[in-house]
């Protein structure tokens, strides 16, 4: 990424921001921006906007200027359709050598001429006797373009991530496993099981992209049953293969006005509490928490969750 000395010096000379963070969710067709501020010892969604992917950098720069968000820490995530996720055995090397060792695996597995930027997360358990890693790979060209747009807009880009990891930031870390089922408009359903703030199970459920177009009656004609089967399979894998305690709580946010019905139907066949996913943030009127982009919100919450996890792990040690 090349932004030039003028842009670089301009960013460095800006005064510090009065806002907590900015979350950016990049999709195939749209990009959403979300700004958080601290208000009465709580975090509040101050502003959110969604624009078309084409020329989103110009719109983002205008949005940053409009709301006085210059030099605010920014956290960016790519949506499900823009990156690849694979699970591999952990290479038998020292921690500082893992990323370099994985480079060959990424090229071989993804099998294309695309240049990839990737990172990984450790799975804290063994599967079939082997330690596993989850690799998340994004095309290098997409990362460079997004980074340049963010920097030119005047925010302080801190982290680039992916939607599944953004989901982990939506709720505080707990020792109790939690299943989060999230779907943005028109996208696949993302099912994740999180424990202690770490991602253990991540699945993309196809066949539910048009969920928002179904009536209550249509949802009860087999679609929710299919979703319940996938939920149960994920719970069984988490418990039997990863040897983890049962999931007792499921929180969901789906692209449908009938979320309460879906939760009720799943609760009838799954031995867990099923409720709507509501992150612990306030919302500045006239925004609605139910209509927020949770990928952008999760990234905006990232610095708060990082601090919580550091404190939690420090106490555990």
Its pTM stands at: 0.89
Question: Among 77, 106, 73, which Cα is nearest to 184's?
Answer: 77
Find the CATH number of the domain harbouring 233: 3.30.420.40
- What are 247-267's pLDDT values in tens digits? 999 999 999 999 999 999 999
Low-confidence residues of the chain: pLDDT under 50: 1-3, 5
Number of domains the chain is built from: 2
Domain span holding position 229 = 171-278
| Domain identity same for 32 and 179 | no
Per-residue pLDDT of 140-194, as tens digits, reads: 999 999 999 999 999 999 999 999 999 999 999 889 999 999 998 888 899 999 9
The DSSP line for 212-238 is GG--HHHIIIIIHHHHHHHHHHHHHII
Asked whether residue 149 falls in the same domain as residue 176, the answer is no
Find all residues with CB under 8 Å of 261, minimum gap 6, and list them: 216, 219, 220, 224
Separation CA 298–CA 286 (nearest Å): 20
Pair 66, 183 in one domain = no
Q: What is the pLDDT of residue 2?
A: 46
Which residues, 6 or more positions from 284, have their beta carbon under 8 angstroms from its beta carbon? 44, 45, 46, 47
Q: Are residues 15 and 68 in the same domain?
A: yes
Tokens at 109, concatenated: 């597995």
Indicate whether 149 and 294 sit together in one domain.
yes
Coil, strand or helix at 312: helix
CATH of the domain at 313: 3.30.420.380
- 3-class DSSP assignment, residue 108: helix
């Amino acid at each position: 990424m090349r932004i030039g000395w003028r842009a670089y010096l301009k960013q460095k000379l800006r005064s510090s921001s009065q806002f907590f963070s900015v979350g950016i969710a990049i999709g195939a067709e749209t990009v959403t921006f979300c700004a958080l501020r601290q208000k009465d010892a709580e975090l509040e969604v101050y502003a959110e906007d969604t624009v078309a992917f084409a020329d989103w950098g110009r719109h983002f720069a205008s949005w940053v200027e409009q709301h006085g968000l210059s030099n605010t820490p920014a956290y960016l995530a790519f949506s499900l359709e823009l990156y690849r996720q694979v699970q591999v055995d952990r290479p038998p090397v020292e921690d500082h050598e893992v990323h370099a060792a994985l480079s060959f695996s990424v090229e071989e597995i993804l099998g294309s001429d695309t240049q990839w930027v990737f990172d990984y997360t450790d799975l804290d358990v063994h599967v079939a006797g082997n330690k596993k890693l989850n690799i998340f790979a994004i095309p290098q060209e997409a990362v460079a373009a997004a980074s340049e747009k963010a920097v030119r807009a005047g925010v302080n880009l801190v982290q680039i991530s992916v939607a599944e990891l953004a989901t982990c930031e939506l709720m505080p870390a707990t020792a109790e496993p939690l299943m989060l089922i999230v779907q943005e408009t028109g996208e696949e359903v993302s099912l994740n099981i999180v424990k202690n703030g770490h991602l253990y199970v991540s699945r993309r459920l196809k066949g539910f992209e048009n969920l928002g177009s179904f009536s209550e009656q249509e949802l009860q004609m087999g679609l929710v049953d299919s979703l319940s089967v996938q939920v149960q399979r994920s719970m069984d894998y988490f418990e039997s293969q990863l040897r983890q305690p049962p999931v007792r709580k499921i929180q969901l946010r789906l692209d449908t006005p009938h979320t309460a019905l879906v939760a009720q139907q799943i609760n009838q066949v799954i031995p867990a509490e099923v409720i709507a996913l509501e992150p612990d943030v306030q919302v500045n009127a006239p925004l609605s928490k139910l209509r927020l982009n949770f990928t952008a919100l999760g990234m905006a919450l990232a610095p708060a969750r990082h601090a919580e996890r550091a404190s939690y792990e420090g106490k555990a040690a």
